[in-house]
Structure 1
Amino acid sequence: MGDIRRRGAVVLGLTALVAPIGLALGTAPAQAATGCTTQAGPYQKKVEKFLGRPVDGKQSSTDCKAIRAFQTKHGITPNQGYAGPVTWGVMDLMTKQKAVGNTPNKAGTCPVNKGRIACVNLTLQLSWVQDGKKLVYGPVPVRTGRDGYETRTGLKKVYWRDIDHVSSLYDVPMPYSQFFDGGQAFHSVGLSMWNPPGSHGCVNMTPTVAKKYWSLLKNGDDVFVYGRKPGT
């Protein structure tokens, strides 16, 4: 694979961590000396319920610490413990992913007449591997392209695999890369799968999942991407 093609794949597939705007424009919430906001957010009750906190719609120091811990774990910024739209959006997505259970292709959207195929549901940020109608692996949470760098939809094929892929432009590792569309690839990252706002087009996976996909797929295998990622 020539360097030009390799560079192109890296630029399109490179993941990026960009801080989202978690608060509405205007005055920022008041903060205590600990850096934790003292203001209840618009999704306070929903966030409290998700975290198993008393649902009263009022911000307490304990609420803030719990929200902050969640934000820090998933790279949500600013991590001030504010129950804003980005934080609730991540929690709501997690809830919807959990509800899928072991039937990710219940609607039959991913083709069942292709044999071994990797499916990617952008709407739910889930991926799985099936063989015909049989579920082989997953579903697992993934992190796809953010606004302006959307992971392209449609039926594709794995065309290039590089287990130790590294960006020649930015020296950024992209382990277990399996390219399927003009530089967009499955690959491992060291980020939360719920880290907003998303990748630069690639389908990010945890190291464990990326390794499993590497063992299950080969050049020529089908990939089907459908739906629309929240926020794109």
Structure 2
Amino acid sequence: MEHIRRRGAAAAGITALVVPLTMALGGATPAMAAGCTTSTGPYQKQAERFLGRTADGKQSAADCAAIRSFQSTHGITPAIGYAGPVTWGVMDLMNQQKAAGKNPDKAGKCPVNKGRIACVDLTRQLSWIQDGRKLVFGPVPVRTGRDGHETRTGLKKIYWRDKNHVSSLYNVSMPYSQFFDGGEAFHSVGLSMWNPPGSHGCVNMTGTNAATYWSLLKKGDDVYVYGRKPGT
């Protein structure tokens, strides 16, 4: 979360960029790497299936290397190749995001009577922009507030924008910041969107997606946040 100090910048031009949801999956090596566990985790079979490996539920050197690579990519610690609940939770979330396809508001939970609106589904950690029932951009994976710093739900409005914002509270860069609730904002971060445990309340995005949100939204546009982030 962030304290407000300056007035926002004017809206940028609209683009039509659409970025598909992707998953970075780790590869495997033939031998057990140093620090790679031989233990079979409780979600071994699910992790193997997710990574496209033989789902026999038995830990091998190659399985461990693939799981460990996945953990390292997304900042899951300890990255030792153990298929525990945190690792499977991230994989399961990715499966849910992929299942959303190009119809993220199939359940009709984001308002369709507001015109252009940015929707944030905390449960699936997804965001998109729609205009009525028309999908304008997304859905894209996001990283919202961790336990104790949950992103607040409800209908809000973008009230301040700062393309080159720096947090006065955490002294970190927050590019493409668009504030919609106190110190909570859309902004880019240089982390995996599946990096646990989450933000301090903001809706984190990749640089490309945050730049597109910046170009498509303006001060006064509606934002609707609903659901509950896993683990909060």
Using the size of structure 1 for normalisation, the TM-score is 0.86
1:103 alignment partner in structure 2:
103
| Pairing of 1:180-219 with structure 2 (within 5 A) | 180-219=180-219
Shift of 1:170: 3.9
Give the aligned partner of residue 87 of structure 1.
87
Look up the SS of the partner of 2:52 in the other structure.
Answer: coil
User: Using the alignment, how far apart are the partners of 1:99 and 1:63 within structure 2?
Assistant: 25
How well do the aligned residues superpose, as a CA RMSD in angstroms? 1.5
For 1:169 and 1:223, the matched residues in 2 are separated by 23
Query: Alignment identity in percent?
Result: 78
Match of 1:229 in 2: 229
> C-alpha distance in 2, partners of 1:4/1:120?
21
1: CA distance, partners of 2:100 / 2:170: 37
Q: Conserved in 1, the CA contact under 8 Å of 2:104 and 2:139?
A: yes
Q: Distance in 2 between matches of 1:100 and 1:231?
A: 20
**CA drift at 1:58:** 1.1
Give the stretch that moved more between structures: 71-80 or 50-59.
50-59
What is the number of residues matched between the two proteins? 206
The residue type equivalent to 2:5 in the other structure is R
Say yes or no: does 1:176 pair with 2:176: yes
State the Cα distance separating 1:56 from its structure 2 match.
1.4
User: 2:4 aligns to what?
Assistant: 5
Counterpart in the other structure of 2:142: 142
Q: By percentage of residues, which structure has more helix? A: 1
Deviation at 1:52, TM superposition (A): 1.0
Rounded Cα–Cα distance in structure 1 between residues aligned with 2:199 and 2:129: 21
**CA gap 1:114/1:56 in 2 versus in 1, 3 angstroms:** same
Compute the displacement of 1:6 (Å). 2.9
CA distance in 2, matches of 1:196, 1:83: 15
Return 5+ residue gaps in structure 1 as ranges: 8-31
Instruction: Determine the C-alpha separation between the residues in 1 that align with 2:127 and 2:88.
Output: 22
**Equivalent position of 1:158 in the other structure:** 158
Q: Residues 10-159 of structure 1 correspond to what in structure 2 (within 5 A)?
A: 34-159=34-159
Deviation at 1:107, TM superposition (A): 1.2
Counterpart of 2:4, as a letter, is R
Corresponding letter in the other structure for 1:217: L
Letter in 2 for 1:126: L
One-letter amino acid of the counterpart of residue 118, structure 1: A
Cα shift at 1:4: 6.3
User: C-alpha deviations, 1:90-136, integer Å up to 9, x for none?
Assistant: 00000011011111111111000000100000000000000111100
CA separation of 1:155/1:60 partners in 2, compared to 1, >3 Å: closer, same or farther? same
Query: Kindly tell me: are residues 91 and 33 of structure 1, through their superposed partners in 2, closer, same or farther at Cα, counting changes over 3 Å?
Result: closer
Q: Give CA deviations for 1:148-186 in whole Å, capped at 9, x if unaligned.
A: 000000000000000000123443100000000011000
- Provide the C-alpha distance between the structure 2 equivalents of 1:45 and 1:54, rounded to a whole number of angstroms: 8
Structure 2: 5+ residue runs without aligned partners?
A: 7-31
Q: Distance in 2 between matches of 1:128 and 1:155?
A: 15
